[in-house]
């Protein structure tokens, strides 16, 4: 179908994309829709918090930019807050481009291939069951602290080979890294990030001495042999482990919270899942599209180019608004703003695109499928039970509280 034509009325303000209130209290999707119609590539003026950047809100352009690291690099920052920042070493693998990114990805990829994820399935199911079993029908349950926070963190603990009881501390560390997720002071966040670094490096040091069958042991010894790409430095090792801890739980957590909220608000879709469990994989994809746990990431143009007829200069930052691309009517049709668990095809960009496609996609999908399956086993309905509290993050679609009622 053709993209919708220009809408009458005042032009949307793309500067609101960085306003925390839009994500905590407002409706970002109305702004996204207006930008797609009237200004699909819109300039956001510099402010005291960030430099100027282009915001891209349409699906074809977001996908094309994400697939072309040669033209749009990640090494100059992936967050609006990083515009103008120069790093001596990349803070995460997401801040790298090929060939450096290719080397890093090759080191960690084996731990996330589908066959390895299948090996984890029984343990993941047991962790979900231990959290879902105590949930009582008819009671108001805040699904975020009850299930969405501890579950993926416990899975990450297993993946890293550390004590699962440490998940509450991992949660604090993870929140300290994501802009807008924590209300702690800057000094407190810096302290927690240093504490996280020291702990994870300490675990890696232990695994060098006494290797085990886990990802930390693999990374601690990575690249030691000739021709394997060189030994990882301490900074590179910490980069890997911190990214696994943070990215491995934040996105899945908010997929689960946002997905269950969506199903509670669309009881016909929950009923359709109960009637046909074979729809669960498609439902997970639709919930990924609907929630878009990572709202946006930044790229930087490496040479002059054009995006949607807009000239982009070399060195100009470009924000890929995944949450808008996932509601693009030109790709998803007239019902793009409707939750539909049987949607197919579903070319959402919630896991990114191109070389930076999420390493943990298979694991996140497994976790979501298991949670849906176990909840469907125990409960016949799901309904909202109070106001949802969202975070003010313009990066992660975070949810702090989501009271729900499940009934048998």
Topology of the domain covering 14-407: Cytochrome p450 (1.10.630)
Mean local confidence (pLDDT), 368-385? 98
What pLDDT does residue 228 have? 43
Find out whether the peptide bond into 130 is cis, omega within 30 degrees of 0: no
6-20, 84-98, 330-344, range with greatest mean pLDDT: 330-344
- Concatenating the DSSP letter of every residue in 202-249 gives HHHHHHHHS--SSHHHHHHTTT-STTTT-PPPHHHHHHHHHHHHHHHH
Residue that wins the pLDDT comparison between 140 and 246: 140
What pLDDT does residue 245 have? 84
Domain ranges of the chain: 14-407
What the block records as the tokens of 249 is: 């739980």
Mean pLDDT of the chain: 90
Inter-residue contact 297 to 322 (CB < 8 Å): yes
pLDDT at 218 over 90: no
pLDDT at 198 over 70: yes
**pLDDT tens column, 136-158:** 999 999 999 999 999 999 999 88
pLDDT at 221 over 90: no
Residue that wins the pLDDT comparison between 110 and 359: 359
What the block records as the tokens of 224 is: 């030691």
Inter-residue contact 305 to 68 (CB < 8 Å): no
What pLDDT does residue 132 have? 98
What pLDDT does residue 408 have? 94
Residues 6+ apart with CB under 8 A from 131: 146, 147, 150, 151
What pLDDT does residue 319 have? 98
What pLDDT does residue 396 have? 92
What pLDDT does residue 223 have? 44
pLDDT at 49 over 50: yes
1-5, 22-26, 66-70, 167-171, range with greatest mean pLDDT: 66-70
Mean local confidence (pLDDT), 319-339? 98
What pLDDT does residue 321 have? 98
Residue that wins the pLDDT comparison between 2 and 263: 263
pLDDT at 74 over 80: yes
pLDDT at 229 over 50: no
What pLDDT does residue 210 have? 85
Confidence of residue 180 (pLDDT cuts 50, 70, 90): low
**pLDDT tens column, 270-293:** 999 999 999 999 999 999 999 999
């Amino acid at each position: 179908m053709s993209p919708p034509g220009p809408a009458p009325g005042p032009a949307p303000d793309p500067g609101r994309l960085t306003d925390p209130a839009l994500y905590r209290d407002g409706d970002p999707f109305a702004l996204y829709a207006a930008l797609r119609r009237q200004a699909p590539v819109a300039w956001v003026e510099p402010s005291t918090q960030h430099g100027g950047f282009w915001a891209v809100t349409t699906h074809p352009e977001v996908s094309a930019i994400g697939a072309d690291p040669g033209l749009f690099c990640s090494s100059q920052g992936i967050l609006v807050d990083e515009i103008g920042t120069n790093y001596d070493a990349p803070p995460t693998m997401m801040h790298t481009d090929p060939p450096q990114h290719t080397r890093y990805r090759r080191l960690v990829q084996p731990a996330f291939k589908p066959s390895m994820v299948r090996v984890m399935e029984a343990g993941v199911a047991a962790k979900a069951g231990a959290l879902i079993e105590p949930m009582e029908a008819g009671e108001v349950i805040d699904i975020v602290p009850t299930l969405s926070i501890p579950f993926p963190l416990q899975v990450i603990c297993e993946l890293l080979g550390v004590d699962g009881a440490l998940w509450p501390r991992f949660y604090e560390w993870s929140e300290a890294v994501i802009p807008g997720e924590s209300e702690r002071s800057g000094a407190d966040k810096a302290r927690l990030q240093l504490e996280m670094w020291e702990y994870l490096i300490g675990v890696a040091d232990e695994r060098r001495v006494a290797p085990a069958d886990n990802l930390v042991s693999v990374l601690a010894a990575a690249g030691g042999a000739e021709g394997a790409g060189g030994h990882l430095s301490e900074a590179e090792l910490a980069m890997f482990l911190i990214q696994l801890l943070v990215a491995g739980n934040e996105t899945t957590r908010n997929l689960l919270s946002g997905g269950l909220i969506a199903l509670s608000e669309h009881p016909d879709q929950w009923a359709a899942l109960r009637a046909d469990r074979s729809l669960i994989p498609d439902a997970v994809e639709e919930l990924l599209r609907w929630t878009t746990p990572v709202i946006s990431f930044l790229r930087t143009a490496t040479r002059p180019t054009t995006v949607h007829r807009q000239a982009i200069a070399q060195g100009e930052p470009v924000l890929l608004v995944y949450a808008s691309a996932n509601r693009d009517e030109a790709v998803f049709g007239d019902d793009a703003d409707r939750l539909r668990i049987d949607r197919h095809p579903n070319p959402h960009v919630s896991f990114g695109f191109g070389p930076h496609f999420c390493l943990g996609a298979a694991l996140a999908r497994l976790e979501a499928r298991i949670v849906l399956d176990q909840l469907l086993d125990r409960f016949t309905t799901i309904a909202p039970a109070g106001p949802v509290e969202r975070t003010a993050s313009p990066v992660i679609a975070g949810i702090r509280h989501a009271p729900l009622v499940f009934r048998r």
